[in-house]
Amino acid sequence: MKKDNKVQYPIPIHEWAEDDRPREKLLKYGEHALSNAELLAILIRTGTPGRSAVDIGRELLHRFKSLRAMSSVDISEFRKINGLKNAKIAQIKAAIELGRRMQSEKKTLTDPVRHSSDVANLLMPLMRDLKKERFVLLLLDGRNAVSDTIDIDYGTVDRANPYIRDIIQTAIRHNAPSIIVAHNHPSGATTPSENDKAFTRSLMMAAKATGISFFDHIIIGNDSYFSFADKGFIGEYETKAIREL
């Protein structure tokens, strides 16, 4: 008797029991009832011969270890996974970025900034996993509450190149009496470089010359941060700027 050599593929998701299908399961029981792989499967939508969307979701988690780690993975790495094309990759990256921004929204500062941790907690979800340096300017109002957060530069893997003139002009244009600046270190370390220190000194000089209060420069790392104000540098640079003006 001739053997059947056809490959036996797993049952596709649309043939699963309704309570086991990720989309139906979410609608019936809520998103909290789904595993990470099942949530990813909803974004992926369709699998490939022999693999369901859930299988692809599991491979993503196995390869990249966590959703947070996935947020910083280059798109070229996603393309190495069978079954992921540009449209699906874009959906996954967009969903992760929305999650990251939602984390930051929860920490939106409506009260006056009282400590460096207030700013670090606001920026950490947005900046700690970036593979390139991002430099942001926080504009403070008369109550010292953050009125706006503006991207000044988005640099290479080594360092951003923020322009002090742009920072001061932006603050003046928005009538901001006070500012805080921040950037991330893709390495995850928070120790300021000599360039970081020189930049902070120069920005303090420019701020003092224009009557703008420069409160802090914060470096975001991997779940940690460095504050120039907390370490006494801002006070030191301010004293020096007053003497030289």
- Averaged confidence pLDDT in the chain: 86
**What confidence tens digit (pLDDT) does each residue in 85-95 have?**
898 889 888 88
Highest mean pLDDT among 63-67, 146-150, 175-179, 237-241: 175-179
Q: Using pLDDT thresholds of 50, 70 and 90, give the confidence band for residue 157.
A: low
pLDDT, position 170: 95
Confidence band for 69, pLDDT divided at 50, 70 and 90: confident
Model pLDDT, residue 221: 94
User: Superfamily for 109-244?
Assistant: Cytidine Deaminase, domain 2 (3.40.140.10)
Q: What is the mean predicted confidence (pLDDT) over 209-227?
A: 96
pTM of the model: 0.66
Give residue 1's pLDDT band: very low, low, confident or very high (50, 70, 90).
Answer: very low
Question: Cα separation of 76 and 89, whole Å?
Answer: 10
Q: What does the domain layout of the chain look like in residue ranges?
A: 13-104, 109-244
| 100 or 11: which leads in pLDDT | 100
> Which pLDDT score is estimated for 74?
85
